[in-house]
Amino acid sequence: MVAARITVNGKETPISPAAPHTTVLDFLRERGLTGTKEGCAEGECGACSVLVARPGVKKPTDWVAVNACLVPVAALDGQEVVTSEGLATADASGAPAVLHPVQQEMAVRGGSQCGYCTPGFICSMASEYYRPDRCAHSDRAQPVEPADGTGQDGGSEHGPSDSEHGPNGFDLHALSGNLCRCTGYRPIRDAAFAVGMPAQDDPLARRREQAPPEPVATAYVRDDGAFLRPGTLADAVRLLRERPGATVVAGSTDWGVEVNIRSRRADCVIAVDRLPELRELHVGSERIEIGAALTLTEIERRLDGEVPLLAELFPQFASRLIRNSATLGGNLGTGSPIGDSPPVLLALEASLVLTGADGEREVPLGDYFTGYRQSVRRPGELIRAVRIPRPLAPVTAFHKIAKRRFDDISSVAVAFALDIEDGTVRTARIGLGGVAATPVRALATEAALEGRPWTAESVEAAARVLSTEGTPMDDHRASAGYRSAMLKQSLLKLYARTTEAVSS
């Protein structure tokens, strides 16, 4: 097997002698690329952001920003990485490098203060700069005057922008995982909203037209552990049978925190994030099947609103940096009672396709969780896909109650999927997170709603039932009483919104 290697800023370099648990962040810094910083070491600040070439949605390749502090460098065997240092262009004459357009705008608009977070912002901004859909959202009709007077296209006016989207099509959520400790967000936003479109001779823009590197089977073994990337699902199942104690990872957004913050080490890590069998997405007339190893960003962009409840979930799930790596399989596999996807998938009556040495089986998500971080998944089994039956309920909502609007852990999460016909609730499915040892269905509330009129009186009665669901507890995020009150309020909020929509 070929020795593990990674291409950084166009130069291929061996991963050895790095330990299997070494993160991309530490690997880069050890090689002098110190623009990549460690801030939080758990994927919340974005100071470590780098670009990775990944399979594209609209083009063969997308430049995707990820948290280098969470990803093992062995997970990028055979892959391409660009750091903040690699964005500027230089020639062989020794002349000073030419700043990348996002670097230029950050400089001239005062987006860099102490400078610690700036390289991470630059990489996240560059990922959005190269997003093909951004180009579609800007008609380039009226160029905005650039701040430096160089004549670079500063974007376009295509109608009024809002606080989260620029006239150049820039989605500010691309920076939701980047933290500025100097509170310099306004000039950073100004820089983001001022960047134009990539020039035709931009090398990273041209790179999007070619396929990204194919995933390679990896066997990176050292005295202190092993990182294995099987080439097929069959190989993965065989490895899990041979190594029942192995740690399975996809995006490493959970395991990376364990490694960094709790100093966890695994004798063997098996990566399943690039398995083709876990990366399929099918939209059919009877069901939608989502591969367990597709990232949340890939799902969001490929579904493009096909499942409204998922579309409402995605912007509230962590940050764009995390969604660029995190998977549904990983979120469900951890069994966390405060994961954001389980309540939504419970409301959608989803089921999981589990595969192992004994074959494949389908388990309703409502039967999957058996206890705190426990499930019916057997040793050696993997989550291959999530299945969502159709037709979808027409009235849906996802309410996440947390201390911050975005990029935070839920205190309570509630997902609704209701079919209301002629003013009567025909079916009701409600998923809850943060109120029990596992994500749960609000079965008593569903029964209190079904067959009853969608009126203030019946909704108020059902909301009182909802406030008693689960076994909420007091902790540092919220009290049990607050959680119960939020459950009740969430149903009243849904009713208010549906009646407002009808009256308008």
What does the pLDDT look like over 133-178, one tens digit per residue? Answer: 886 655 433 333 444 433 344 433 333 457 789 999 999 999 999 9
For 143, which DSSP code? B
What does the pLDDT read at residue 70? Answer: 98
What does the pLDDT read at residue 97? Answer: 80
Would you tell me the crossing angle of helices 101-108 and 118-129 to the nearest 10 degrees? 130
What does the pLDDT read at residue 96? Answer: 72
Residue (of 345, 398, 53) closest to 205 by Cα position: 53
Please tell me the class of the 5-207 domain.
Answer: alpha beta
Strand order from edge to edge, sheet including 11-14: 11-14, 5-8, 80-82, 49-55, 61-67
| Cβ within 8 Å of residue 445, ≥6 positions away | 428, 430, 462, 465, 466, 469, 491
In the structure encoding, which two tokens stand for residue 366, read together? 């409502």
| Count helices and strands in the chain by DSSP H and E runs | 16, 20
Q: Provide the residue-wise pLDDT of the chain in tens; the chain has 504 residues.
A: 578 999 999 999 999 999 999 999 999 999 999 999 999 999 999 999 999 999 999 999 999 999 999 999 999 999 999 999 999 986 666 677 899 999 999 999 999 989 999 999 999 999 999 999 886 655 433 333 444 433 344 433 333 457 789 999 999 999 999 999 887 899 999 999 999 999 999 999 999 999 999 999 999 999 999 999 999 999 999 999 999 999 999 999 999 999 999 999 999 999 999 999 999 999 999 999 999 999 999 999 999 999 999 999 999 999 999 999 999 999 999 999 999 999 999 999 999 999 999 999 999 999 999 999 999 999 999 999 999 999 999 999 999 999 887 888 899 999 999 999 999 999 999 999 999 999 999 999 999 999 999 999 999 999 999 999 999 999 888 999 999 999 999 999 999 999 876 554
Beta-bridge mates of residue 439: none
CATH 3.30.70.580 holds for 395-503 = no
Contact indicator for 480, 463 with CB cutoff of 8 Å? no
Burial (0-12, 13-18, 19+ Cβ within 10 Å), 144: middle
Beta-bridge mates of residue 374: 371
CA dihedral 191, 196, 197, 198 (to 10 degrees): -70
Coil vs helix vs strand at 364: strand
CA dihedral 461, 463, 464, 469 (to 10 degrees): 130
What is the CATH number that goes with domain 218-271?
3.30.43.10
State pLDDT tens for residues 454-489.
999 999 999 999 999 999 999 888 999 999 999 999
Angle, CA of 453, 456 and 458, to the nearest 5°: 50
In the structure encoding, which two tokens stand for residue 478, read together? 């919220």
* Domain spans in the chain, listed from the N-terminal domain onward: 5-207, 218-271, 276-389, 395-503
Q: What is the pTM of this model?
A: 0.93
What is the CATH number that goes with domain 276-389?
3.30.465.10
What does the pLDDT read at residue 153? Answer: 40
Tokens 């097929």 sit at which residue?
232
Residue 214, by phi and psi: left (phi above 0), alpha (psi -120 to 50) or beta?
Answer: beta
Rounded CA gap, 245 and 267, in Å?
Answer: 8
Contact indicator for 58, 39 with CB cutoff of 8 Å? no
